[in-house]
Amino acid sequence: MQNDTPKCGLIEKKEGDYLDNLSIDAYFWYVEDWKHDEYVHSHQRYQLTYVEQGYQYFYLDNKTYLVPQHHVIWIPSHTPHRIRSEAKTVQLRVALFKTVPTADFFQQVHVFAAPPVLKEMLRYASKWNQVVDENADQALFIQAILCNLPEFCQENQSLQIPVPTHPNLVVVCQYIHAQYHTHIKTEELAEIAQLSTRSLQRHFKQETGITLQKYIQLIRILKSIELRDTQHYTLSQIAHLVGYSSLSAFTLSYNTIMKSKPQHEK
């Protein structure tokens, strides 16, 4: 059954399948307290999403990407994806492009912190929010954003959560997601995977590109971002809740992943 309500300016013909009848090459879309369908969908347009408030998980292929507040994600055309967030409020600013430069950058997924100039450009672009008629000033401005994206991008690979395919490793990841706040020993993970410790470490690194210890660290820091968003805990409490024995240890680990010190959400 066709849904005639526009979603980011597009018409959903059936679940996850969008019809793009817009002639405009690129436009901005912004709504208060964003609520998006959680099922997999794709569309012809390239997508730039800026998380102004809250956080958002994006599921693409065999990876999960966390896009925290003040970060952006670039999604190439026709890339199936779904999103999820349990943040109390999510404010997203989206730009959708029909055509992009030929550089390889635009054919890959990117997640990075939005530099101040990009933040201001996206905020200024609110004057053209949901304008889908041809507009010369809007076209020039959005092309300026697009052409400068490779320069703005300081990739943070740590925000990519690899998803293994081997069933034994999937079980290990599920255990880590459930027990990240405890002291997890490699030996117990090996027992769960029914592998030797050395085999588990080798296979995990081969499938995910990171070590088990790095994966545990990554999950703890991503969970801390979710807890910060609730504004119910101090940083010391969050450090304890995600499995760190001290605030200093948590701060060091957070800085390693996020390239910045943890701060309370405002």
pLDDT in tens, 191-245: 999 999 999 999 999 998 899 999 999 999 989 988 988 888 999 999 999 999 9
Mean of pLDDT over the chain? 89
Helix orientation angle between 186-193 and 197-208, rounded to the nearest 10 degrees: 80
Does the structure show a pLDDT above 90 at 104?
yes
Does the structure show a pLDDT above 90 at 18?
no
pLDDT in tens, 130-172: 999 989 999 999 999 999 999 999 877 777 888 888 999 999 9
CB burial readout 83-113, b (16+ within 10 A) else e? bebebeebbbbbbbbeebeeeeebeebbbbb
Q: What is the predicted pLDDT for the residue at 252?
A: 94
Place of tokens 């994006």: 58
Fold of 164-258: Arc Repressor Mutant, subunit A (1.10.10)
Domain segments of the chain as ranges: 3-159, 164-258
pLDDT level of residue 1 (50, 70, 90 thresholds)? very low
Q: What percent of the chain has pLDDT over 70?
A: 95
Does the structure show a pLDDT above 90 at 11?
no
Does the structure show a pLDDT above 70 at 6?
no
pTM: 0.81
Greater confidence (260 vs 51) lies with 51
CATH number of 3-159: 2.60.120.280
